Structure 1
Amino acid sequence: MCGICGIYHQGKIEVSPAQICRMRDLMIERGPDSAGYELLPEIALGHRRLKIIDLSDKANQPMTNSDRSIWTVFNGEIYNYRELRQELLAGGYHFNSNSDTEVLLHGYAEWGTELFRKITGMFAIAIYDSRKQQLILGRDRVGKKPLYYADKSGVIYFASDIKVITSVLPSQPMVSLPALDCYLHHIAVPDQHTIFEGIRKISPGSFHIFSENGQVATTYWEWDYSHKVVNDEATILQTCEELLIQAVMRRTISDVPIGTMLSGGVDSSLITAILCRNATRRIKTFTMGFKNYPMEDILAAREVAKLYDTDHTELILDHNVTENLLELVWQFGEPFADSSAIPTYLISKAARQYITVMLTGDGGDEAFGGYGRTIVPRNAQIFSRIIPPFLHPLIGNILGGLAINPESDSVLGKALYYIDYLKGFPYESFYNTMGFHKYRTSLWNPEYLSRITDHNPLHPFHENFNKVKGLNPIDQVLFTDGMTRLVYDYLVKIDRATMANSIECRSPFLDTALLDYVAKISPKLKFKNHQTKYLLKKIAEKYLPKKLLYTEKRGFGVPVDRWIQNDLSGIFETVVFNRYARQRNYFNYDFIHKIWSDQRTSVKDHKHRLWSLFWLELWQLMFVDKIITRDMPLREVERILK
């Protein structure tokens, strides 16, 4: 795993060694083991390396071929590089290293951009072809590895980290109001945007070719739910298990120690079990929780660790997060309010003392259908068979008149929820309940709201639902989840939190062969007996006790409410209502005062919305106002703002 950067200037500007090295070294945590750069007549390339495969200097980057016509900088791992290497050796290519990077160089020379369809793994790749005078930027299929770029008067700046680009742009870019609007709805910035105007992300499963003729983008992969396999359940289970075992074992290719992030949930427990059953040495596992907070996950992880005799580490934290918060704001680079980033960062920090590569269960929910929102369309269809659709408007009006809460667990509440869901599916039914979807007009200052009147902050969902209109509603939700929340929230979280500690994270459930096959399985089978992740749990029964599999879905328990109301209460108010924020005047602060009061008096739960405002203001103070730094104590921030 590494950090890459470059400036494709085509001779239009002069790039100094100091400039490219400044870009490169802002990503030192992504690659603490070595650093390199290359200045060519058309392009400057920089690289920070975390050594995983071929630890020798021969695998350092930037790397070029024998005639120096092709150059690359690369972040990630290519899991089928050994097979491709053999194919290239048979074709007459010679290798100077045992790295996957050199396979990319010769692979591009042999196959051109078809290389992206042949490689499997997680990656962000920059290839400069001096013969064709073009730069190619490509990203892995599901978007595990980040890649940003900006086009300024024909000069292309690119990097693994957005702040690397802003550090060398001719002028400070403006905050994008549509991106900010999206952030407040999604608690993260979707891939269609970045928080700064003029900076973009390479989309997952695509590559862009930049030349003097402009830019051409090509999509080489997307989730495909349009074709279904016709096999019996036993065959499907066997195939899924075989593909999952292959995916786990592919991700053990490493010249450094490996372990797993064991949350206690089905996904990470199954990955750990498969790894342990196929390992030749004792596996390190890591889990964490908070004091005086539910312990179910920790106890489940402890049981799995005992069952497979792992070398297990438990990290039990108090609630105080002030020590690490500004470092996380720095590492993420864009506003990011998924509070589970904090435990993910801390468990990675603890693991780095022992391992460099960590396997996780990310992607299991998206592939096999683990979220409650995924099964809702089926439940709503069943509801429609019991209560005919022509009665829905009448019943909805009656229940609404009785002030029934559609978010309650009562029978009447569920009935109203399904009526509203079916009426609005998919465009009004699919949104992040942690964000400001229902409070948008109350939150924004009317002046700024008028500037984004034509912007729909739910457009990332709508665009993806439009691609799969004719499919089963469950497949529509699975596709949209994989193209949205997985990419801009869950994978951003795991990448930034682990790489901040120089840990490479690998996710077997996001293996291409596994994803392609599972997408072909009927939704009815995925949710057989109304069970989320039915197939995965059936496979897991061979590896884990049933009592660990058929429990309510959890995640890392994060005490956000305690943070903002106790540990950070004074700092929280000082930051959210600071004078710089009021001068920007984006928001209606009377409304923010109200939801803060409602939170403290337990009138309504706004903790995640308040957390998103808190993180946003810390980000503004660090990257826009530039009056706080990553190494500053949080109490010093409070002093500066008072």
Structure 2
Amino acid sequence: MIDAMAHRGPDGQGVVDLTPAGGALALGHRRLALLDLSNAGLQPMLCPDEARNAAPPRGWLVFNGEIYNHLQLRRQLHGEGVRFVSGSDTETLMWALARWGEAALSRLQGMFAFAWCDLRAQTLLLARDPLGIKPLYTAQQAGRMGFASEARALRAAGLGGGGIDPRALASLLAYGAVAEPLCAVPGVDELEAGHALRLDLTKIPAEALALARRWRYAASPKAQAWRDREQGVAAAAQALEASVAGHLLADAPVGLFLSSGLDSAALATLCARAAPNTHAFTISIASAGERDEAPIARACAEELGLPFEAITLTDAFVEQRALGFFTALDQPGWDGLNTYLISEAVRERGMKAALSGVGGDELFGGYSGFRTLPKLRWLSGLLRNLPAAVRNAIAKRLYPHPEQAARREKLSELLAAGLDVQALTLRSRRLFSDAQLRAFGLGEALSTLDAQALPAERWADAPLEEVCAEISRVESRYYMGNTLLRDADVMSMAHSLEIRTPFVHQPLVDVIASMPGRWRRPEKGRNKPLLIDAVGADLPRRLLGLPKSGFTLNQDAWMRGPLRAPFEQWIDALKHSGALNPTLVEHEWRAFLDSSPQSGQWSRAWMLGVLGAWLATA
């Protein structure tokens, strides 16, 4: 299993075989060293008896991620008498679990997935961070249970089946990503974000004792908790600075992904204050012309005094390097190529971690939906009771051309959503409609999902009263969680690079989520006004009036050019896989080839090609 994840940790490995009462347990780990680069940070890590005598040890820990407040926790533990022998956050986490048990989870600030084997209680605790930055998969089969950071490791151990789970396939085609707790690999589940699973090791196989949700988004913004917006801006500024400072903590080089977008520019501004030698990197696409983000990113870095490098992607580079993206896929997904390409280049330049602006749009209201969905909600409320034919006619009037069929179908579905903000937000993210999923042959799979083509067993929350706050929560949980964070982890770790996401940080999220949603709404031509005001006057002003962007690639042209041959093979493989209606698969591919580059048709053809590539190795 650990060999299947060698790319995640080239700096060390370890395996320990344990024999709890009634069964056997093995823990393995691959290390990417970022804090305390010595062997003192190797895992699995044994927690000795506190007296460090001949008494039995407390337990073993395997841990993936970073605990950004580990120095504060370490001081608390030291005050309780714990003596540390390393500077690693792994040892801090280990002693926190040994001393405080599951209550330690509420004290952790960071990204994590870990397994804590309590030798005295004969239990195994599996846990993920509140926002789901680090993944954790589980599988149980024929009296065996396994867990890992990637599903491929479970498959390497003979756990999980072949092909693709039909419910996961429906979710994938609906949204371009498999929604947790589903996994594309049959028989494998993903532990949901913010959850902890405790297992009884005295049973064969290990028996679940408790599955608990340890954190949830604020129930509703607390306008009364804030004196005025100025106070909110000051609190946001303090939380942002603290988050960036924590995410820069490392004993190895940490870089910055810098696009021409506002989120990464805000991080660059905060990095320039906290660590002015932080190297910034961007992607430059040779054929992008005026759409190339490198000139703006370079100007931003120069204004802030940060070292900077633009990594140029030519068609030859894409043809040579992009195929590795399809091999790196742990689960099929629509996104992630940009992360794969820049992560490879940044790792080659000596970085072991990089800050990313992922999460800024969800938290600070950057997506166009924060402007359009409230209007669509009003319109949908008026039109939802009209016959479907009338709604379809309205959509066709707005999008009359054949190339606009996907937009027409999406608008028709949005007009039927009514006042449900979650439904509106999710439908705005749809790739294929329910009607298309049934045409692909997925009617039975859809019957096991809820009305939004999501797992029916997901942990539902009551909707928030404020529309912007609810959009933020839904985007964070579903799009950010299932697409952006998963792809950031898999595609960066494919190159042994750790992506750190300062905007996806529980203390920061808690502060912003408690504020009135209207503070995040675009105002007077300014997008993300709360973020702009919180970062302050040294944020490069040239970015404020620019349209949203962020490492945008040219997949349409590449699918017609350097990647056409492999895509033809993957589409053919998908047609012969039996997973989908081959006639409709061929229709989507031909519709893309016949479309104009401006139509946006490439995204659905891309998803089908990715699926075909993944199934070819499943």
Shorter-chain TM-score tier? 0.7 to 0.9
- Quick check: 1:187–1:337 contact (8 Å CA) kept in 2? yes
Contact 2:219 2:464 in 1 (8 A): no
Q: Aligned partners of 1:147 and 1:221: how far apart in 2? A: 17
Inter-partner Cα distance in structure 1 for 2:105 and 2:135: 16
Offset, 1:237 = 0.8
* Match of residue 431 from structure 1: 427
Looking at structure 2, the residues matched to 509 and 456 of structure 1 have their Cα atoms a distance apart, in angstroms, of 30
Cα distance in 2, alignment partners of residues 402 and 193 from structure 1: 33
Q: CA deviation at 1:441?
A: 4.4
Q: Which residue of 1 aligns with 2:346?
A: 351
CA contact (8 A) 1:188 1:337 kept: yes
- Corresponding position of 1:30: 8
1:234 to 212, 226, 230: 230
Of residues 477, 483, 503 in structure 2, which corresponds to 1:509? Answer: 503
Q: Which amino acid aligns with 1:192?
A: P
Unaligned runs of 5+ in 2: 50-56
1:587 paired residue among 566, 570, 580: 580
* Match in the other structure for 2:604: 609
Q: Does 1:491 align with 2:516?
A: no
Residue 16 of structure 1 aligns with which residue?
none
Corresponding residue SS for 1:322: helix
1:53 is aligned, of 24, 35, 38, to: 35
Contact 1:319 / 1:559 at 8 angstroms: preserved in 2?
A: no
Q: Secondary structure at the match of 2:612?
A: helix
Q: How do 1:171-570 residues align onto structure 2 when only pairs under 5 Å count?
A: 172-173=161-162, 175-211=164-200, 212=203, 213-228=207-222, 229-279=225-275, 281-293=276-288, 294-320=290-316, 321-338=318-335, 341-352=336-347, 353-380=349-376, 389=382, 393=386, 397=390, 400=393, 403-405=396-398, 420=416, 422=418, 425-427=421-423, 430-431=426-427, 433=429, 435-437=431-433, 440-441=436-437, 443-445=439-441, 449-450=443-444, 452-456=446-450, 458-460=452-454, 467-527=461-521, 529=523, 531-570=526-565
Distance 1:440 1:165 in 2: 32
1:9 alignment partner in structure 2: none
Greater mean deviation of Cα atoms: 85-94 or 457-466: 457-466
Residue aligned with 2:192, SS: coil
Residues 527, 534 of structure 1: 8 Å contact kept: yes
Please name the residue that 2:567 is paired with.
572
Q: 1:465 to 1:478 in 2, by over 3 A?
A: farther
Return the letter of the residue paired with 1:498: S
1:83 aligned to 2:72?
yes
Sequence identity percentage: 27
Q: How many residues align?
A: 588
Deviation at 1:610, TM superposition (A): 0.7
User: Structure 2: how far apart are the matches of 1:415 and 1:441?
Assistant: 17
C-alpha distance in 2 between matches for 1:200 and 1:416: 33
1:569 and 1:415, CA in 2 relative to 1: closer, same or farther beyond 3 A? closer
Tell me the equivalent position of 2:151.
Answer: 162
* Alpha-carbon spacing, 1:576–1:74, altered in 2? closer, same or farther (3 Å): same
Secondary structure, counterpart of 2:60 in structure 1: strand
TM-superposed deviation, 1:359: 1.0
Paired residues of 1:178 and 1:457 also in contact (CA < 8 A):
no
C-alpha distance 251-450 of structure 1, shift in aligned 2 (>3 A): closer
TM-score (norm 2): 0.88
* Residue identity matched to 2:364: F
Give the Cα–Cα distance (whole angstroms) in 2 for the partners of residues 555 and 444 of structure 1.
Answer: 32
Q: Is the 8 A contact 2:34 2:252 kept in 1?
A: yes
Letter in 1 for 2:561: N
**Unaligned residue ranges in structure 1 (runs of 5+):** 1-22, 624-642
Give me the whole-angstrom Cα distance separating, in 2, the residues matched to 1:566 and 1:473.
42
Question: Which residue of 2 is the match for residue 17 of structure 1?
Answer: none
Summarize the Cα distance change of 1:362–1:260 in structure 2 as closer, same or farther, 3 Å threshold: same
Amino acid at match of 2:365: G
RMSD over aligned Cα atoms: 2.9
Q: Give the letter for the 1:128 counterpart.
A: C
C-alpha spacing 1:400/1:541, structure 2 compared with 1 (3 Å): farther
String of CA shifts for 1:55-101, please: whole Å, max 9, x gaps: 11111111111242310011111111111111111111111111111
The answer to whether the 8 A contact 1:188-1:336 is kept is yes
Distance 1:399 1:256, change over 3 A: closer
8 Å contact from structure 2 (residues 259, 551) kept in 1:
yes
Q: CA deviation at 1:532?
A: 3.8
TM-score normalized by the length of structure 1: 0.85
CA-to-aligned-CA distance 1:177-219 (integer Å, 9 cap, x gap): 1101111111111112001222111111111001134342111
Q: Which amino acid counterpart does residue 330 of structure 2 have in structure 1?
A: G
| Structure-1 residue corresponding to 2:130 | 141
Q: What is the CA–CA distance in structure 2 between the aligned matches of 1:484 and 1:391, rounded to whole Å?
A: 24
Q: One-letter code of the match for 2:372?
A: V
- 1:273 to partner: Cα distance: 1.1
Shift of 1:424: 6.7
In the alignment, the residues of structure 2 paired with residue 398 and residue 380 of structure 1 have an alpha-carbon distance, to the nearest angstrom, of: 13
